[in-house]
Structure 1
């Protein structure tokens, strides 16, 4: 099992840099940050851009995987994101993990676009993902869809897609099946619940759908499964006991990767920093 940590981009780089360096020193396998223009969880906070932050993190680390948690078509275009991903993979020495999701509010209206209903958000994400994959694989990529169009995008040299895993976020059956068929890994936050048992039951249902689809497509070997532990009703680092319980339950469901949030002094993701330090000091249970 591999462990990741998510660091919110709500502070200047001079303050954030030590946190990214610390994540690698603590033994985490990957580190993430949110990709939003404005995040609903901190709508009045200072907020910094994801790709420049990951680029800066790549320059002060050497081993740890780095990724957006997650990029969406709310304000991204497959052609421009492909170029940024290619560049970030190069700068980081192929440590980029490209998380993708359907996106939510308020990012969906900040560029003047209309808000889409859930089904169309998924439609748009699937088109976005396929076009992004094309742009990372082919030279002279050109395609026109319902939501996006790419016209003769050049790609000179080896295709960077071979070095950039696409990790699809999704909780509903349709999104889980799409990830199983077309991505390199699946990310889930589970479905909202105020009860930890109920949350894990919902996660288990999604795992069953994933397993069935992977078996049908013959892709069940080595497929990455990421669970955001703090998306449920408890903060994984609120205590050692809660962390161990959640890790054990996630491991029992077959997750290959778990992501926690770096504890903050205030909500969201408020938790004691000393719990993170104790978890790191005893060694992450790989």
Structure 2
């Protein structure tokens, strides 16, 4: 199993940089940050650019993979995003991973556009992903859809990673799972809202089985966001329990969050250090 950690883009770089360096020193396989203009969980807190944060992180690390957790069509056009992806892939020397999802929350209306129905959001995600895939693999793309268009979209020089940067598709519903099966090098899930941890893991297991049916036995990396129901780093025991359950369900990767002093994802760096030393080594390989 591989392990990832998410560092929210809420800190000035002088405070954020040590966290990104430490994530690599601790041996995490991948490190992520949210891609929002404003996140509902911390809408009154400072918030910095995703692309600039990942670019800076790429310059102070050398081995950890870096990704968006996750990018959405809420405020991004595939052609403009393509340029950012090409730059991140180049600056990181092929370590960038693009997490992609349908989008929601405050970002869905913050630019003044209409609020879309869940079906419309998945329609838009399908169009967004198709066009982004084409732009990252083909130079000179003409495309006109319901939500996005390009006229001779030029995308030279192409990705460092070939045929393109890997997509990790966020999916909790039938149609988005189909997109994950078609376009994803990986699938990430937050599970479904549940009353307790057992019910939440049951929902994760159901989604995993549905993906199995869509993939028809073809392998796909599977990422579980451990903190979607409760924060996994509340204790060493809680983290070990969550990782063990994920392993039993066949997940190849798990992702937690860097502990914050208070509020959402409140915890201690001591717990983080202990799980790295005591738990993670038992699940490596």
The answer, yes or no, to whether TM exceeds 0.5 is yes
Name the residue aligned to 2:276: 280
Name the residue aligned to 1:248: 244
Q: Determine if contact 1:94/1:163 at 8 Å carries over to the other structure.
A: no
Q: Which among 227, 243, 261 is matched to residue 257 of structure 2?
A: 261
Name the residue aligned to 2:177: 176
Aligned-partner SS, 1:225: strand
Gaps of 5+ in 1: none
Give me the whole-angstrom Cα distance separating, in 2, the residues matched to 1:27 and 1:48.
25
Aligned positions of 1:1-286 closer than 5 A:
1-158=1-158, 162-215=163-216, 220-221=218-219, 223-232=220-229, 234-282=230-278, 284=280, 285-286=283-284
Give me the whole-angstrom Cα distance separating, in 2, the residues matched to 1:121 and 1:18.
37
User: How far off is 1:194 after superposition?
Assistant: 3.0
Aligned-partner SS, 1:267: coil
Aligned-partner SS, 2:168: strand
Q: Determine if contact 1:77/1:148 at 8 Å carries over to the other structure.
A: yes
Give me the whole-angstrom Cα distance separating, in 2, the residues matched to 1:186 and 1:255.
10
Gaps of 5+ in 2: none
Give me the whole-angstrom Cα distance separating, in 2, the residues matched to 1:130 and 1:178.
9
Give me the whole-angstrom Cα distance separating, in 2, the residues matched to 1:276 and 1:282.
10
Q: What is the CA RMSD across the aligned residues, in angstroms?
A: 1.2
Aligned residues: 281
Give me the whole-angstrom Cα distance separating, in 1, the residues matched to 2:275 and 2:7.
17
Give me the whole-angstrom Cα distance separating, in 1, the residues matched to 2:21 and 2:136.
29
User: CA 1:252–1:283 in structure 2 vs 1: closer, same or farther (change >3 Å)?
Assistant: closer
User: How far off is 1:176 after superposition?
Assistant: 1.4
Give me the whole-angstrom Cα distance separating, in 2, the residues matched to 1:283 and 1:250.
14
Give me the whole-angstrom Cα distance separating, in 2, the residues matched to 1:104 and 1:131.
20
Q: Determine if contact 1:27/1:283 at 8 Å carries over to the other structure.
A: no
Give me the whole-angstrom Cα distance separating, in 2, the residues matched to 1:101 and 1:156.
25
| 54-63 vs 174-183, greater mean Cα deviation | 174-183
Give me the whole-angstrom Cα distance separating, in 2, the residues matched to 1:171 and 1:203.
9
| 165-174 vs 27-36, greater mean Cα deviation | 165-174
Give me the whole-angstrom Cα distance separating, in 2, the residues matched to 1:122 and 1:177.
11
Task: Kindly provide the CA deviation profile for residues 169-191 of structure 1, in whole angstroms up to 9, marking residues without a partner as x.
Answer: 01112211221122211110011
Aligned-partner SS, 1:52: helix
Give me the whole-angstrom Cα distance separating, in 1, the residues matched to 2:180 and 2:102.
12
